A and B are shown apart, each in its own frame.
Chain A
């Protein structure tokens, strides 16, 4: 069955370190998204991609970057982790013909 997987499920890091969260989907979807979820803020879009070599900033992109070298993967990199980036991160994908998002299981990131 097609799926979208995130790794790791939990990550603890220190401020200033570079961190990369992985996202891999086997739906063959063109569109991929990274959201963060915090209490009181709901899901907020960080970055998104509509295809290979395409990346775009979302509403909370500062301090994050993504790259899309193939259809299946959209890794999210925190260049220099900050405590404000402690959050639950969700990767999602869609086929572009509708807006149904398929979400991964999430990554709980703690920056100490």
Chain B
């Protein structure tokens, strides 16, 4: 059973719209959740982390966490063509190891 599930997409949104990316995880005791952005041919870079239920906002990005539903999402407001990338959801299962399990990623295209 996969640890972290994401819709592979691709997801296309027009410039200025809200992009919504979703992720579910299987380990109920997971405590730390992350969103990484990966441009084509590049390495992943962290854009958001969230640890508590609710919303966390950083500029145009909002991460949402619902531990009861084992669900984490990323909203990108006022989407820009530069947001076109693959977004990876990552979860720390907190089994005593400082490791991350990654989803397969959702490819986002923002259409000008």
Contacts and interface: CB of A to CB of B under 8 A. Distances in A.
A7 to B, nearest CB: 14
A45 B99 contact: yes
Given A40-B104, A43-B102, A50-B98, A99 B43 contact: no
A31 interface: yes
A96 B98 contact: yes
Interface in B9-68: 32, 34, 36, 42-46, 49
A43 B99 contact: no
Nearest to B36: A101
Contacts of A50: 98
Interface string B75-108: 0000000000000101010000111111111000
Given A50-B98, A58-B99, A43 B32 contact: no
Interface in A15-37: 31, 33, 35
A58 B100 CA distance: 10
Interface of B: 4, 8, 32, 34, 36, 42-46, 49, 88, 90, 92, 97-105
Interface of A: 31, 33, 35, 40-45, 48, 50, 56, 58, 90, 94, 96, 98-101, 103-106
15 contacts: A40-B8, A42-B88, A42-B103, A42-B104, A42-B105, A43-B90, A45-B101, A48-B97, A50-B98, A90-B44, A99-B49, A99-B92, A100-B49, A101-B36, A106-B43
